[in-house]
Every structure is written in structure tokens, then in C-alpha cells.
Amino acid sequence: MKYILAIAGSDSCGGAGIQADIKTITRLGAHALTAITAVTAQNSLGIAAIQKIPAHFISKQIESVLEDIRPDGTKIGMLLTGAAIKEVTRVIKKYGMPHIVVDPVLRASTGRKLLDPKAIPLLRETLLPLASVVTPNLDEAEILTGKRVRNLEEMEEASKAIKGFGPDVVVTGGHLKGECVDLFYDGRDIHHFSGSKIRVGHTHGSGCVFSTALATFLALENDVKRAAELAHEFTRGAIERGYPCGKGPGAVCPG
């Protein structure tokens, strides 16, 4: 049995966040370990409120797990505050953890900020250098680089800039016009994982599923390129199986 630690926020609507992480890990045959960073009051139409978990309690959750079970991979999602970034970084340095995938959850699709803007430099300078892979979408790549990222050429330039922070990079291109392309860059070569646009409205949780699947496939002893390709294929399947959940965008279905 492989053990995957998911460090992320809770989605009361059940489509994204730690709920999507657990479903993904379980579907891929591994055991989910969790640390909750924030609790959201949300539905398919948006986020009504966010209750942060104190940073010292986030690290307490992680350390309690690590003192008993060593994860084979780790996915880090929404952290919300600079204090949380500092604590998660401290624990990673203390224990040493393999196959860390950071999904830089910076803001919701509705525009609500999910990480304090003042903490973005801290994310770039302290957490990303410890990660194996970072998985920004187009908007997140723009925020991390400070440059426009709307097409494939700009994705390539962004991936090179983000690689400068340390980790390998997958810029997910589900919001590209036309074909969907996830771009992987390891500091040497650029690879495109492409597929036709899936014309459905049920995409809530797709970013969480991708990053968690990537961490799990790494733990299952795939190299980074192959893990990214498998995560791309798995996430496409989850979107194709998506279903209505509320009055807004429906949820993806990992399995």
C-alpha cells in the first residue's frame, strides 16, 4: 500500500479540496493521509466564507502523521496564509518527504483570493524550492511570473520562469481556447500532453484531481514525465465523468 499525504482546504460542496484529494488517492489504490489547512463554506455558486486553521495546528496534523507513517508522496494545495507556508516548509525540512507536488491555489474561479497576496513571494522562495513538481493553471502561472499566460508560447515561457524557483513544472491548459494542452518542463525538455476540448460544464475540482493524481503516480514509481502524462489522462477521465452538483458548475468524478 502506498500512502499519500494531502495538505489542503476542505470544500463543503465536496467537489474540490481535500474531498477531491481523498477520492483521487483512493481511486488510484493508495491510502489518503490528510492535514486540513482551512474550512470553507461554499457551494457550486461560490465561496461564502473561509475559516483558516491556525498554522501551528496545521503542522501538528502533519507531524502527528509523520511520526507514525511515512508518506510515499505529498500533495500541497490551498495554504491561505504566509504563516501556514512557513510551518509546512519547516515540517518538510525537518522530516524530508519524497515526491512533493504543489498545487499553487491562489484564487478561486470566482476571483476570491485563496492565498494572501503578501505570501506569494514566500511561496516562491521557500516552498517551491522543496517541491518535486508545481502545477499552476494559466491564471496561477500569470501570478507566479507576473507575465501574461494565455497561449502555448506564453505557457512555455512561464514554465521556464517557474522552473527557476526549483521544481519541475506542469502548466495546465484546460482554459486554453481550442485544444487542451498540459505543458511539462523539467529544465531540459518541454513536453505537451494534448487532447480535444471536453465540452462539459462539470469541472469543479479538476486542478485538485490533477495535482493529487500526479503525486500518487509519482509514489507509484513513475518518473515525473510519465506521472504527468498519466495525471493528464486521469483528469480528462474525471472531467468526462463529471456530473451536476448544485446550480453552478458540476463536480468532476475521479472514479
Q: Which segments of 96-197 does DSSP mark as H helices, in order?
A: 120-122, 138-145, 152-163
Taking a C-beta distance cutoff of 8 angstroms, is the pair 234, 240 a contact? no
Half-sphere exposure of 210 (CA within 13 A, CB side): 31
Q: Which segments of the chain does DSSP mark as H helices, in order?
A: 17-27, 55-66, 82-95, 120-122, 138-145, 152-163, 206-219, 224-240
pLDDT tens across the length of the chain (255 residues): 999 999 999 999 999 999 999 999 999 999 999 999 999 999 999 999 999 999 999 999 999 999 999 999 999 999 999 999 999 999 999 999 999 999 999 998 777 899 999 999 999 999 999 999 999 999 999 999 999 999 999 999 999 999 999 999 999 987 787 788 899 999 999 999 998 888 788 999 999 999 999 999 999 999 999 999 999 999 999 999 999 999 999 999 998
Beta pairing class for 190-195 and 180-185: antiparallel
What's the number of domains the chain is made of? Answer: 1
For residue 150, give the 3-state DSSP assignment.
Answer: coil
Q: In what order do the strands lie in the sheet with 46-52?
A: 46-52, 31-43, 3-10, 73-76, 100-102, 133-134, 168-171, 180-185, 190-195
Q: Judge whether 248 lies within some domain.
A: no
Separation between Cα atoms, residue 70 and residue 154, nearest integer Å: 38
Q: Judge whether 252 lies within some domain.
A: no
Q: What does the block give as the cell for 125?
A: 522562495
For 93, the domain range is 3-240
Q: What CATH number did the domain enclosing 96 receive?
A: 3.40.1190.20
- At residue 201, the pLDDT reads 81
Separation between Cα atoms, residue 236 and residue 145, nearest integer Å: 27
Packing angle between helix 17-27 and helix 206-219, nearest 10 degrees? 40
Separation between Cα atoms, residue 169 and residue 186, nearest integer Å: 7
Q: Judge whether 139 lies within some domain.
A: yes
- At residue 109, the pLDDT reads 75
- Centre a 10 Å sphere on the Cβ of residue 28 and count the other Cβ atoms it contains: 22
Q: Judge whether 253 lies within some domain.
A: no
Give this prediction's pTM: 0.97
- At residue 147, the pLDDT reads 96
Q: Judge whether 40 lies within some domain.
A: yes
Taking a C-beta distance cutoff of 8 angstroms, is the pair 141, 172 a contact? no
Q: What does the block give as the cell for 231?
A: 495525471
Q: Judge whether 250 lies within some domain.
A: no
Helix (H) or strand (E) holding 10: strand 3-10
For residue 24, give the 3-state DSSP assignment.
Answer: helix
